C-alpha cells in the first residue's frame, strides 16, 4: 500500500490506525485492576477484624497434677503433713477437757466406791469367772481409794472426798441388788465396761491437762491399771 492509499484509509477509518495502542491501554487497565483487588484483600480483612487476633488469656495458676502424677494415697487438694495436726485435734476432742481438781477427786472417788460395792455383790452372785474378776476389782480399787484419800487428807490436794455415791451410781447398785443368775452377770459385766471406759477417759484427760501437779501425777500412774481393768471387763462379755 503506497502512502496515498494509507492516507485515504486513515481518513475513512481513523480507528484502524489506533487499534494497537488501544490494546496496550486495555492491558494496562486490567493489570491495575488485578493489583487493586489483591491490595484490597488484606485491607478488607483488616476492616472486618480491626483488633487483629485476640490475646491468649494467661494461665491463672498451675494445673493440678493428674492422678498418675500425685503421690500414692494423696487425693486432690490434700497435702503431705496435714493428717498430723488433725489427728491430734481429734484425740483431744475425744478425751475432753480435764475437770478442776475438786471435780476430778469427786468423780474418781465415786468411781472407786461403785467398783468396790458392785464387786462385793459380784463375789456373791456372779459365776466363777465373774467372782475372780470382782476379787481383782475389790483389791485394786480399795488400793486407789486409799491413795486418793491420802492425797486429800494430807493437804497435798485441795479437795473434799464425797460421802457416798451419787444418784446415778446408787441406782445402778440398787438394780444389781435386785438381779440374780445370768441377768446379774450380764448387767454387772456391762456396768464394768462402761465404768472403766468412763474412768479411763477421766484419768487420761487429767493426766494430760490437770491443774494440780500431785493429782496429775497420780492420775498418770493409775491410768495403765485402769486400762488393764477395761480389757479384762471386755473379755467377760
Residues 45-91: tens digit of each pLDDT: 444 444 444 444 444 444 444 444 444 444 343 433 333 333 333 34
pLDDT digits (tens, 9 = 90+) for 104-133: 999 999 999 999 999 999 999 999 999 999
> Does 8 fall in a domain?
yes
With 0-12 CB in 10 A as exposed, 13-18 as middle and 19+ as buried, what is 131? Answer: middle
Is there a single domain that holds both residue 131 and residue 17?
Answer: no
The predicted pLDDT at position 237 comes to 76
> What is the Cα–Cα distance from 191 to 185, expressed in whole angstroms?
10
> Does 128 fall in a domain?
yes
Rg of the chain taking only CA atoms, in angstroms: 51
Is 60 exceeded by the pLDDT of residue 43?
no
> Does 91 fall in a domain?
no
Tally of CB atoms within 10 A around 127: 14
* Average per-residue pLDDT for the chain: 75
Structural domains of the chain, count = 2
Give mean pLDDT, residues 207-235.
98
> Does 75 fall in a domain?
no
> What is the Cα–Cα distance from 107 to 169, expressed in whole angstroms?
11
Is 50 exceeded by the pLDDT of residue 200?
yes
pLDDT digits (tens, 9 = 90+) for 150-166: 999 999 999 999 999 99
> Does 228 fall in a domain?
yes
Is there a single domain that holds both residue 140 and residue 231?
Answer: yes
Please give the residue range of the domain that contains residue 36.
3-43
Give mean pLDDT, residues 24-41.
42
> Does 78 fall in a domain?
no
Is there a single domain that holds both residue 213 and residue 131?
Answer: yes
Confidence of residue 95 (pLDDT cuts 50, 70, 90): low
Confidence of residue 96 (pLDDT cuts 50, 70, 90): confident
Pick the residue with more confidence: 5 or 157?
157
The reported pTM is 0.61
> Does 132 fall in a domain?
yes
Amino acid at each position: 500500500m503506497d502512502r496515498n492509499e494509507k492516507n485515504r484509509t486513515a481518513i475513512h477509518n481513523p480507528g484502524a490506525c489506533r487499534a494497537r495502542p488501544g490494546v496496550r491501554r486495555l492491558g494496562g487497565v486490567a493489570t491495575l485492576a488485578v493489583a487493586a483487588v489483591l491490595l484490597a484483600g488484606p485491607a478488607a480483612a483488616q476492616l472486618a477484624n480491626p483488633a487483629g487476633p485476640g490475646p491468649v488469656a494467661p494461665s491463672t495458676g498451675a494445673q493440678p497434677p493428674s492422678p498418675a502424677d500425685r503421690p500414692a494415697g494423696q487425693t486432690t487438694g490434700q497435702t503431705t503433713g496435714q493428717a498430723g495436726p488433725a489427728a491430734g485435734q481429734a484425740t483431744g476432742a475425744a478425751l475432753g477437757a480435764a475437770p478442776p481438781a475438786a471435780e476430778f477427786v469427786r468423780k474418781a472417788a465415786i468411781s472407786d466406791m461403785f467398783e468396790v460395792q458392785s464387786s462385793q455383790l459380784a463375789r456373791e452372785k456372779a459365776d466363777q469367772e465373774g467372782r475372780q474378776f470382782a476379787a481383782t476389782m475389790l483389791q485394786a480399787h480399795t488400793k486407789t481409794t486409799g491413795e486418793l484419800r491420802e492425797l486429800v487428807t494430807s493437804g497435798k490436794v485441795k479437795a473434799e472426798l464425797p460421802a457416798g455415791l451419787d444418784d446415778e451410781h446408787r441406782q445402778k447398785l440398787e438394780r444389781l441388788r435386785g438381779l440374780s443368775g445370768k441377768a446379774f452377770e450380764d448387767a454387772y459385766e456391762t456396768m464394768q465396761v462402761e465404768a472403766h471406759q468412763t474412768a479411763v477417759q477421766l484419768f487420761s484427760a487429767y493426766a494430760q491437762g490437770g491443774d494440780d501437779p500431785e493429782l496429775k501425777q497420780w492420775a498418770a500412774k493409775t491410768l495403765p491399771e485402769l486400762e488393764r481393768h477395761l480389757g479384762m471387763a471386755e473379755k467377760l462379755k
